[in-house]
């Protein structure tokens, strides 16, 4: 059931956590606001994904998601900040560690994905692609440069324009074949599928 946007305090009541816990989650970027309000459905997903249980000094899981009210602490809002600071004296170091770990895990996953794509033949090194493009361009440039010399020696005054056109067309077709062969050879060497003739 979709609920409209609610205030941070209302979301805290819905989640049965302190307003301070929600405020900290927003400040840390674990929950995003829309025009200063919370979309409960989105926030629930973000909360589960982005809020990790910290281990307190006692070795028991602790969290910023302190219940909204408790018999010992009245409203729970003021006491949760004190309790959190007592449980996490090295919160800055822990945050740095978590950020570094998340960054490392992201890059490891990205690298693994790239290696899988490379093994599947869907990813090649950019240097290899540049070399392949240069080889193909060289084949094309050499072929185009040969046309005047090859055609000029076989053209004579008695030829009709249609005969000259046929001669030039044959030379261009040969260049296209050479170019296609070069592309197929390079594609085979790179492990990719070559275009059809």
pLDDT of residue 18: 92
Cβ atoms of 15 and 29 within 8 Å: the answer is no
pLDDT, mean of each 10-residue run, the chain (197 residues): 78 92 90 89 86 50 43 43 51 75 86 83 81 89 88 83 90 91 83 53
Is the distance from CB of 167 to CB of 154 less than 8 angstroms? yes
Residue 34, strand partner residues:
37
At residue 148, the 3 state secondary structure works out as helix
What's the confidence (pLDDT) of residue 20?
92
The pLDDT value given to residue 100: 84
Please enumerate in sequence order all residues whose Cβ is within 8 A of that of 74, keeping only pairs 6 or more positions apart, or say none. none
CA distance 147 to 126: 32
| φ, ψ at 93 (rounded to 5°) | -65, -40
pLDDT of residue 196: 52
- pLDDT for the residue numbered 71: 40
Structure confidence at residue 72 (pLDDT): 41
């Amino acid at each position: 059931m979709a609920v409209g946007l609610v205030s941070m305090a209302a979301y805290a009541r819905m989640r049965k956590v302190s307003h301070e816990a929600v405020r900290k989650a927003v400040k840390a970027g674990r929950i995003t606001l829309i025009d200063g309000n919370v979309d409960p459905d989105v926030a629930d997903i973000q909360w589960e994904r982005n809020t990790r249980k910290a281990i307190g000094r006692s070795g028991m899981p602790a969290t910023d998601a302190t219940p909204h009210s408790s018999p010992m602490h009245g409203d729970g809002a003021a006491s949760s900040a004190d309790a959190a600071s007592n449980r996490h004296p090295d919160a800055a170091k822990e945050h740095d560690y978590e950020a570094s770990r998340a960054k490392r895990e992201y890059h490891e996953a990205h690298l693994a994905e790239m290696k899988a794509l490379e093994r599947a033949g869907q990813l090649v090194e950019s240097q290899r692609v540049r070399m392949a493009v240069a080889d193909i361009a060289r084949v094309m440039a050499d072929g185009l440069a040969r046309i005047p010399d090859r055609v000029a020696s076989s053209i004579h005054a008695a030829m009709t324009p249609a005969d000259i056109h046929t001669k030039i067309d044959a030379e261009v077709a040969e260049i296209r074949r050479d170019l296609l062969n070069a592309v197929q050879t390079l594609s085979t060497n790179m492990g990719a599928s070559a275009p059809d003739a």
